[in-house]
Structure 1
């Protein structure tokens, strides 16, 4: 099984998420080699995961299974530098939006290429991770790779053209809300609740509100009308405009 040895190109947040997910499941590898241009990033990663090896680009790229955990502007240049050491039967998984399988194929000789949009909740093995595979990907290897990726949470195959939409509406979605939850929790103490009481109230209500909105057959309008008082209702149009302009604008930039 090729996934017994992994290489990560990039040692940032996404690699941290993957390694933590594997550690949670006590899934061990013969070796994990990580390359990053920042020694501080590698040092911090090795403190969290002592078993990993810090290597150069060629060492990481020569592993049987390679994850490309880079921002899109860095991917093509890095592929040029690693092309000679990636074996013809390696499994290469890009975790970046925008850079298509066709572009990756123009640099790497392996036929076993995939793209995945990772999710931060994979850190606790609860990710929602779409993946797409190149034509000709070895079926046995594909099955084994999917088994590995499913350790991260819900992992499912989609057409490549849908990956960037999932990047906007799943991978980046928590960032649209986390800061709001933090702000709401900060209001609990001045209102007379303990931190524990506030967290419990916000968490439980959010979970129940999601269930009500998605699972009980009511239209969005009927759900929203269940609470007649809307303290920030006068700002809803402004917030909706922010979503439309910022998110659709970013989607246009990451769409291949």
Structure 2
């Protein structure tokens, strides 16, 4: 059983399914709904896992976080991981860190950064097509170089940030403008939404 609905619809759907009297392996893709709520909904014969595949799975380069309820058999864990490995990398993490991962790994961060950086590039004179190409290269190929190259992230930042250089000036300006604080506030807001989703489906 794969539960692939929005968090607000989980409670109603589980009520429609009702208690089960035989063993079933179930995987929930609903963000923010904890295993304890899922276990209570259909009864003890149902073995629950949570998985959060990214939309990039559509091209086979996704990342799926997976967490399992206690007592989930190792053979079935391997089966679930193999299923999601068909569309990218899998990563098993504790449920306590699941919502933080969900808030952080979203490809929407990349899309938002691309839209924002390209818009800023247009405002300093680039046409839209060139702005998108330049911003996509900075984000996409820049990350690819880190992922597939031999240099660590600190080494790449040091290499790029030549004192008095263009990149160093741009990064320093972003940091002074509250770049890290912006991400802190946005991720905390996402965590709060995940907790709200859980409360919405409790009871």
Q: Do residues 137 (structure 1) and 72 (structure 2) align? A: yes
> For residues 81-111 of structure 1, what are the alpha-carbon distances to aligned partners after superposition, in whole Å with 9 as ceiling and x for unaligned?
2124x56222211112322111111111333
What is the distance in 2 between the residues matched to 1:177 and 1:75? 28
Q: Do residues 222 (structure 1) and 132 (structure 2) align? A: no
Q: Within 5 Å, give how 1:33-72 maps onto structure 2.
A: 66-72=1-7
Q: Do residues 245 (structure 1) and 185 (structure 2) align? A: yes
- SS in structure 2 at match of 1:107: helix
Q: In structure 2, what is the equivalent of residue 61 of structure 1?
A: none
- C-alpha contact (below 8 Å) 1:111/1:137 kept by paired residues: no
Residues 102 and 138 of structure 1, relative CA distance in 2, 3 Å threshold: same
Among 101, 126, 136, the residue aligned to 1:203: 136
Residues 87 and 118 of structure 1, relative CA distance in 2, 3 Å threshold: farther
Among 29, 33, 37, the residue aligned to 1:95: 29
Residues 242 and 80 of structure 1, relative CA distance in 2, 3 Å threshold: same
- C-alpha contact (below 8 Å) 1:76/1:104 kept by paired residues: no
- Decide which moves more: 144-153 or 205-214: 205-214
What is the distance in 2 between the residues matched to 1:194 and 1:248? 32
Q: Which of structure 1's runs of 4+ aligned residues deviate more than 6 A?
A: none
Among 181, 189, 205, the residue aligned to 2:114: 181
- SS in structure 2 at match of 1:154: strand
Among 4, 8, 24, the residue aligned to 1:73: 8
- SS in structure 1 at match of 2:49: strand
- C-alpha contact (below 8 Å) 2:52/2:66 kept by paired residues: yes
Gaps of 5+ in 2: 199-203
TM-score (norm 2): 0.73
What is the distance in 2 between the residues matched to 1:247 and 1:220? 25
Count how many residue pairs are aligned between Structure 1 and Structure 2: 187
- C-alpha contact (below 8 Å) 1:117/1:166 kept by paired residues: no
Please state how far the C-alpha of 1:231 moved relative to its aligned partner: 8.3
- C-alpha contact (below 8 Å) 1:67/1:93 kept by paired residues: yes
Where relative contact order (Cα < 8 A, 6+ residues apart) is larger, the structure is: 2
Residues 236 and 118 of structure 1, relative CA distance in 2, 3 Å threshold: farther
Please state how far the C-alpha of 1:225 moved relative to its aligned partner: 2.7
What is the distance in 2 between the residues matched to 1:177 and 1:157? 23
What is the distance in 1 between the residues matched to 2:186 and 2:133? 31
Q: Do residues 113 (structure 1) and 48 (structure 2) align? A: yes
What is the distance in 2 between the residues matched to 1:87 and 1:124? 38
TM-score (norm 1): 0.60
